[in-house]
Amino acid sequence: FIWTIFWYFYGKSDPRDYSGISKEELDWILENKLTVYSEENFSHFQSGSSENIATSDDNSVPEDENDVLLPKNKISSKPRYIQKIPWKLIFSCREVWAIMISQFFNSWGYFILLNWLPIFYYEYLHVDINLIGYYTTLPYFSYIVIGSIVGYICDYAIHQLNIRVLTVRRSANIIGTFGISTSLLLVTYFAKTSLEGLLIITIGFALYSIQISSVNMDIAPKYAGLIYALGNTCGMVPAFFGVALTGWILEVTNNNWGIIWIICSLYYILGSLFFISWAGGEVIID
């Protein structure tokens, strides 16, 4: 809901309507925009020279030009060109399957932690129920902070150190998935106090955030959102069954959390193995 408020006031349908955009970024967007009309009604939007592009608050655009970029809830008199999605090509690429399978396995542990971590704190580490909120929040806070920083580090490694894109993506995935897997095993068998458990889990979450990558942008920039959606759909399957199955396992094993985290660790490692074996670092769907 909070996000929606910001989106309502700051979201724009046209990049030229956004006052915070830089002149260089606006030029780049206009120069690389897609043509949306069919050949028989072919029409290009002439953006003009960079000197004529205004970036002030008054960035109004005529309605007919808005129709070319992003139509504002009106039907154009000209037939629109709808680009067909290459479904066959998408599903035949192992790089796409690497993303989908990886998200499937990763979601198992992610949603179990999201739903069962507070109960683990309470039942296994004996955390005061009044402090569970803080114990649960801190690992996710480290996840957000480190995940925000690691993107810049990866870009620096690729563009400044000239490390291969695929090498950076694989390394990030290995560090992230093996980091969270190791932390789950350590907290079960080596943590003696609640603070030790909190520290281990927080470090695990921080390492796990490193595996966040934009590999879908690497292999298919035009269909990155679609591929992410496919992977996210795959991830909802273990999210549903994994959370329910965890409750059943705890019930029949007399709250044996070691089994739960071993299963999660195996899922993380399997997902990582598929990713590092099949992932790609170059555009294969354009």
How confident is the model over 145-163, as a mean pLDDT?
91
How confident is the model over 177-202, as a mean pLDDT?
94
pLDDT at position 41: 41
Query: Per-residue confidence at 12, pLDDT binned at 50, 70, 90?
Result: confident
pLDDT in tens, 105-120: 999 999 999 999 999 9
8 Å CB contact between 99 and 229: no
Q: Is the pTM of this model over 0.75?
A: no
Domains of the chain and CATH, by start:
2-69 (no CATH), 87-278 (1.20.1250.20)
pLDDT at position 79: 47
With pLDDT > 70 as the criterion, what percentage of the chain qualifies?
Answer: 81
pLDDT at position 82: 58
How confident is the model over 229-247, as a mean pLDDT?
90
pLDDT at position 13: 80
User: Does residue 223 carry a pLDDT above 70?
Assistant: yes
pLDDT at position 157: 92
**Residue 70 vs residue 23, higher pLDDT:** 23
How confident is the model over 16-35, as a mean pLDDT?
78
